[in-house]
Amino acid sequence: MLKAYKYRIYPTKEQEDSFFQHFGSCRFVYNWALENKIKSYEQDGKSVSRFTLNTMIRKLKDEHEWLKDVNSQSLQGATLNLENAFTKFFREKKGFPTFKSKKNPVQSFSVPQFYEVDFDNNKVKLPKIGWIKTKLHRKFTGIEKTATVSRTPTGKYYISILVDDEQETPVKSLFSEEVTVGIDVGIKDFAVLSNCEKIENPKYLKSSIQRLNVLQRRMSKKQKGSKNRAKARFAVSRIHERISNQRNDFQHKLSSKLIGENQALALETLNVNGMLKNHCLAQAINDASWSSFVTKLEYKAEWYGKTVLRIGRFEPSSKICNMCGYYNKNLTLADREWECPDCKTNHDRDINAAINIKKFALNKQNLIGI
């Protein structure tokens, strides 16, 4: 299996300058390659392959001598990233690759090989840069693949190392109704489980929004391009980074807990992009970040041989009584509790939805009848 290990690195001033040189050179090659692909398609109706572009980089170095100071494989990594971007575009039919800017909040470059990791001395050696002080808080074993160096908007540097641990993907565990949990994500409660457990929504953005608004107003009043504006932007970036770290920490802990306690998890497929069009709920939905939570559940399920079951977005999980199957067509979003007219059962809207999500998912697996 492939796993990525991310570490904080602490470059010297000279190494930091070398990082910026790599960032700029890889960005230049990416934009040059994208321009060549677009022109080739417009003129000849054909696309230039990555291998042709890599051959053309040699001539490009003669025109721009400063490219020779950068790791050649990092430059070729830029063309690989472009090819992956086009593959994603043709597969999903959206998100045509765009030109990169030095103003992008996150800058990065890849190192495919010839780097070294020294766990004993907490150092990483990169080609043409040398040994860099690194916080190697976790050890890994396996075949080292591509390493990616990145810089955050707050000026922190990280290296992410992709490792093949040479282990086969675990076989999916058998599951039944007893070891399956239904999960209904929401805004008031981040997640409600079919066992009636409710996970409170921490709402990290909402708790920091007042301070964030103050800092953003201060930044808007600073002159563009000035040092004071850069300082104000840095303060805003720190708030966003803290919110992101808090959200990721919460979701990692919750997803690990759910994966560890159950053999299968049933989820509802949500149209998040469509829900974001509701301007009254858009900020709260973004703060919850359901998509990243589901992504964490899915790849951790692969790691540990668990199963993630999905039901369609149009399944009426909230409006059906989980006891008798009565369909309450008059239920609105404001109704948090309701009583079934047929069996007189009082329902908590979210718990009822979680139970139904589990039932619908297991019914599709022919493990339970409704």
Active-site residues, by number, are 184, 268, 350
Distance CA 44, CA 60 (A): 22
Q: Which helix (H) or strand (E) holds 141?
A: none
Quick one: how far is CA 128 from the chain centroid?
30
Other CB atoms within 10 Å distance of the CB of residue 317: 24
Q: What single-letter amino acid sits at 354?
A: A
Radius of gyration for the alpha carbons in the chain, expressed in angstroms and rounded: 25
Cα(164)–Cα(241) distance, rounded to whole angstroms? 29
* Contact between 154 and 243 (Cβ < 8 Å): no
For 174, the token pair is 């058998």
DSSP 189-247: EEEEETTS-EEEP--HHHHHHHHHHHHHHHHHTSPTTSHHHHHHHHHHHHHHHHHHHHH
CA distance 304 to 169: 8
321: left (phi over 0), alpha (psi -120 to 50) or beta: beta
- Separation CA 29–CA 109 (nearest Å): 11
Number of neighbours of residue 334 by Cβ within 10 angstroms = 6
Query: Distance between CA 9 and CA 19 in Å, rounded?
Result: 12
Containing H/E element for 34? helix 13-44
Strand, helix or coil for residue 162: strand
CA atoms of 195 and 180, how far apart (whole Å): 10
